[in-house]
């Protein structure tokens, strides 16, 4: 294959550096033919498969560049590789209550679909509604679904309820869609965390493939084959020497010590990329002399470590020298051996866990599970001397001056994924400061992200302010769909401030801009209900269900509102079609409807379950109070009603407050 063909496909030379290979870079992916074939066979032959390995070993690269591109599309339907991290820029307030892990996965599987249309779907809903492909004899093809970096299920602002619900959704999809084959890509140090999830999936045999670093022979192939695509080759002794230099521990005081027969892929790519960039254009065969002149491994690895430290220092706005000294002083002993430290609740060896993970993601550190805890250490013994060089030679400044606002935006999104709102806010404001009118789109994204930060803190007025700014910028850019989503977010922020009539106006505007978005229409119905226009809300939801009779959020909303209105039979008809475990208010509303039909014994378990999951929910407490009143227990009804009036997670609607006060008066 000509170099121009490869360059056109990848946009670069033969080595990608230390970031994972993507599907677009599969032409450059060598050294893993056997691993790729074995993982493909495992995925096709089993309903639940695990691809595991230590951090930095290349699981993502193997999946995206070795496994997926070689799948036979005539034998299987392959969904886009999924992730569980959230979109930090989308105005999350515009969405109904949803499982963030499910939404992230479905957004990856359906990249062209607006998030508002995916937010009310479960994994099974999504798979059921899509049109599958059939084989040559009409048989359904296997559906291959992979979740890369599945450890994101346990990182950032997440909770046990969302994790358990997500695992139950995976189990439901596997049960109801027999052609679904699931591949989970999990680092070794998160396998213990995954035990509860895998237990929920225990109905299906779970097969595991453990990925190891490159053998020396595979490392030679990964080094030589990409170079050949660009009409260059390595002399035999040069290839052997480069691999040997990566598997030898270097120490100033003692001779080199052989480390073993395996090579860390990230270090190999980094060294080869550095060598390639330094070689003169007329070099066609890379010799040992070229290695000594342009490819000194110690120098290249020291540069790699220094760059990673500078990037992390810049991202977290700390002095580069401080991080360099911390890295060498913490993870390298006086005897020049690797040391490990356990991860704490928020910090590891004195630095925030998010910063330590950033060094791990840049392949300076790796995380391992031992003695019931996660520990961090240098990725490889081969980095000991380069890290020491970094500690001694980095300049004592505050890091690389960031000139590209895109870097700040990326750092803000990463911080949001880690749950570090302070850092996310800081970088988003830096985007606004450094961009101005040069990039309105990026400024709009930064404002929307700041709205999400404010929303996460319960600052509805501040969230509204940022969403308004983002909407104005997207209006200038004539992005009608983005404006509509932000109008919906503004409406929800107004609802949180008790400005119900104004919220209805904004949600009406959002619906007018995107009239086919059923989720925004459903949120309009909730706003109408809170504004006291219950029958108008029911009419909107009936229109939604006329388009999609299985829209679960619309069914839940109409069922709850009908129960609130006293239309018990119609409420039960809707609520019996909803997955009740998802929302406590749904269970409580169903309990109220059952009680109104004189089915108290069936209502009590629903109310108890709802109260146990949402003891501070105003609507749940009110529905429980109304059930108690129907059971002729005025004292309990009054006590629950008092709690409902003062509840804030969420608060009751104004008309519900009046209902609660009436129940309190009846007990006097």
Q: What is the pLDDT of residues 164-215, one digit of tens each?
A: 999 999 999 999 999 999 999 999 999 999 999 999 999 999 999 999 999 9
| Confidence (pLDDT) at 579 | 66
Percentage of residues in the chain with pLDDT exceeding 90?
65
pLDDT digits (tens, 9 = 90+) for 573-609: 999 988 644 688 999 999 999 999 999 999 999 999 9
Instruction: With beta carbons less than 8 A apart as the criterion, state whether 88 and 515 touch.
Output: no
Q: Are residues 309 and 184 in the same domain?
A: no
In a domain, 600, yes or no: yes
- 45 with 191, same domain? yes
Let me know if residue 240 belongs to a domain: no
pLDDT beyond 50 at 401? no
pLDDT at site 566: 93
514: Cα separation from own chain's centroid:
27
How many independent structural domains does the chain possess?
A: 3
In the chain, how long is the greatest CA-to-CA distance?
96
CATH number at residue 67: 3.40.50.300
Report CA-CA distances (Å) from 572 to 217, 596, 607, 625: 66, 10, 15, 19
Last residue of a domain, one of 368, 393, 418: 393
- 48-57, 259-268, 524-533, 640-649: lowest mean pLDDT where? 259-268
In a domain, 262, yes or no: no
**Would the pLDDT of 561 be above 90?**
yes
Q: Is residue 157 one of the residues assigned to a domain?
A: yes
Sign of the alpha-carbon torsion through 639, 645, 650, 655: positive
4 by Cβ neighbours in 10 Å (0-12 / 13-18 / 19+) ranks as: exposed
- Taking a C-beta distance cutoff of 8 angstroms, is the pair 622, 640 a contact? yes
CATH number at residue 342: 1.10.10
Which pair of structure tokens corresponds to residue 124? 């099974």
Is 358 strand, coil or helix?
helix
Residues in the chain: 668
Residue 526 has pLDDT above 70, yes or no: yes
499 belongs to a structural domain:
no
The answer on 327 and 208 residing in a single domain is no
Q: What is the pLDDT of residues 465-507, one digit of tens each?
A: 999 999 999 999 999 999 999 999 999 999 989 899 999 999 9
Domain range holding 588? 579-668
Q: Give the range among 15-24, 243-252, 551-560 with minimum mean pLDDT.
A: 243-252
Q: Measured between alpha carbons, how far is 668 from 637 in angstroms, rounded to an integer?
A: 12
Q: Is 629 a domain residue?
A: yes
Q: What residues form DSSP beta bridges with 60?
A: none
CATH of the domain at 607: 1.25.40
Q: What whole-number percentage of the chain has pLDDT above 70?
A: 93
pLDDT value, residue 253: 43
pLDDT in tens, 369-400: 988 899 999 999 999 989 988 766 554 443 44
DSSP string across 504-560: HHHHHHHHHHSTT-HHHHHHHHHHHHHTT-HHHHHHHHHHHHHH-TT-HHHHHHHHH
203 shares a domain with 86:
yes
Q: What pLDDT digit, counting tens, does each position of 422-435 carry?
A: 989 999 999 999 88
pLDDT at site 259: 53
Task: Quickly count helices (H) and strands (E) in the chain.
Answer: 31, 16
pLDDT band for position 70 (50/70/90)? very high
As given in the structure block, the two tokens for residue 287 are: 């010799």
Out of 186, 212, 238, a domain closes at 212
State pLDDT tens for residues 129-172: 876 777 777 778 999 999 999 999 998 777 888 899 999 999 99
Mean pLDDT along residues 14-20: 90
Transcribe 592-637 into DSSP letters: HHHHHTT-HHHHHHHHHHHHHH-TT-HHHHHHHHHHHHHTT-HHHH
Last residue of a domain, one of 192, 212, 232: 212
288 lies in some domain:
no
Q: How many Cα atoms sit within 13 Å of 292 on the Cβ side?
A: 4
| 88 plus 207 within the same structural domain | yes
Give the chain's mean pLDDT. Answer: 89
Asked if residue 305 and residue 206 are part of one domain, the reply reads: no
How far is Cα 419 from Cα 352, in angstroms, rounded to an integer?
12
Least confident of 56-60, 407-411, 486-490: 407-411
Q: Does 355 lie in the same domain as 207?
A: no
17: its two tokens: 């550096």
Q: Is residue 64 part of a domain?
A: yes
Q: What is the DSSP letter of 56?
A: T
Cα 538 to chain centroid, rounded:
35
């Amino acid at each position: 294959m000509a170099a121009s063909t490869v360059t056109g496909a990848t946009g670069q030379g033969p080595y990608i550096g230390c970031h994972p290979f993507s599907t677009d870079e599969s032409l450059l992916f060598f050294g893993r033919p056997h691993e790729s074939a074995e993982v493909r066979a495992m995925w096709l032959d089993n309903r639940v498969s695990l691809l595991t390995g230590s951090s930095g070993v290349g699981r993502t690269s193997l999946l995206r560049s070795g496994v997926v591109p070689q799948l036979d599309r005539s034998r299987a339907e392959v969904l886009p590789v999924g992730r569980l991290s959230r979109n930090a820029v989308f105005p999350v307030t515009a969405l109904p209550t949803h499982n963030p892990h499910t939404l992230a996965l479905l957004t990856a599987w359906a990249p062209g679909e607006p998030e508002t249309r995916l937010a009310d779907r479960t994994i099974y809903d999504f798979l059921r509604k899509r049109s599958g492909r059939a084989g040559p004899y009409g048989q359904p093809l296997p559906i291959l679904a992979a979740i890369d970096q599945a450890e994101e299920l346990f990182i950032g602002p997440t909770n046990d309820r969302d994790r358990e619900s997500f695992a139950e959704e995976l189990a439901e999809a596997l049960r109801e869609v027999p052609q679904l084959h699931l591949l989970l890509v999990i680092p070794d140090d998160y396998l213990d965390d995954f035990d509860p999830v895998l237990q929920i999936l225990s109905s299906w045999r779970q097969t595991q493939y453990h990925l190891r670093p490159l053998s020396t022979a595979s490392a030679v192939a990964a080094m030589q084959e990409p170079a050949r695509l660009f009409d260059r080759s390595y002399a035999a002794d040069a290839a052997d020497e480069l691999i040997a230099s990566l598997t030898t521990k270097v120490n100033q005081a003692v001779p080199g010590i052989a480390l073993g027969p395996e090579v860390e892929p990230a270090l190999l790519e980094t060294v080869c990329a550095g060598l390639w960039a330094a070689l003169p254009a007329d070099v066609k065969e890379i010799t040992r002399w070229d290695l000594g002149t342009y490819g000194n491994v110690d120098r290249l690895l020291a540069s790699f470590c220094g760059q990673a430290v500078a990037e992390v220092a810049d991202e977290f706005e700390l002095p580069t020298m401080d991080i360099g000294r911390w890295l060498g002083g913490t993870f390298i002993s006086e005897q020049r051996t690797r040391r490990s430290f356990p991860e704490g609740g928020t910090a590891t060896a004195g630095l925030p866990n998010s910063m330590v993970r950033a060094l791990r993601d840049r392949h300076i550190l790796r995380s391992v599970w031992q003695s019931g805890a996660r520990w961090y250490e240098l990725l490889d013994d081969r980095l000991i001397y380069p890290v020491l060089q970094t500690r001694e030679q980095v300049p004592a400044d505050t890091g690389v001056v960031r000139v590209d606002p895109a870097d700040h935006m990326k750092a803000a999104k990463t911080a949001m994924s880690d749950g570090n709102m302070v850092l996310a806010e800081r970088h988003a404001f830096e985007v606004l400061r450094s961009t101005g009118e040069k990039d309105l789109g990026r400024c709009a994204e930064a404002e929307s992200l700041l709205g999400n930060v404010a929303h996460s803190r319960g600052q509805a007025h501040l969230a509204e302010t940022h969403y308004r700014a983002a909407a104005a910028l997207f209006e200038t850019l004539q992005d009608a769909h983005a404006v509509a989503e932000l109008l919906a977010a503004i409406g929800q922020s107004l609802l949180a401030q008790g400005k119900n009539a104004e919220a209805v106006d904004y949600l009406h505007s959002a619906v007018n801009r995107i009239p086919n978005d059923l989720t925004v229409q459903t949120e309009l119905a909730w706003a109408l209900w809170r504004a006291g226009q219950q029958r108008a809300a029911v009419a909107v939801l009936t229109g939604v269900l006329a388009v999609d009779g299985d829209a679960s959020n619309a069914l839940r909303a109409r069922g709850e509102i009908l129960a609130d209105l006293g239309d018990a039979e119609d409420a039960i008809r809707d609520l019996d079609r909803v997955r009740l475990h998802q929302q406590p208010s749904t269970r409580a509303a169903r309990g109220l409807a059952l009680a109104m039909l004189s089915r108290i014994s069936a209502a009590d378990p629903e109310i108890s379950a709802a109260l146990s999951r949402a003891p501070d929910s105003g609507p749940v407490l009110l529905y429980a109070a109304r059930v108690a009143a129907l059971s002729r227990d005025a004292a309990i009804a009054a006590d629950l009603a008092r709690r409902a009036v003062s509840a804030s997670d969420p608060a009751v609607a104004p008309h519900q407050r009046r209902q609660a006060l009436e129940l309190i008066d009846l007990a006097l």
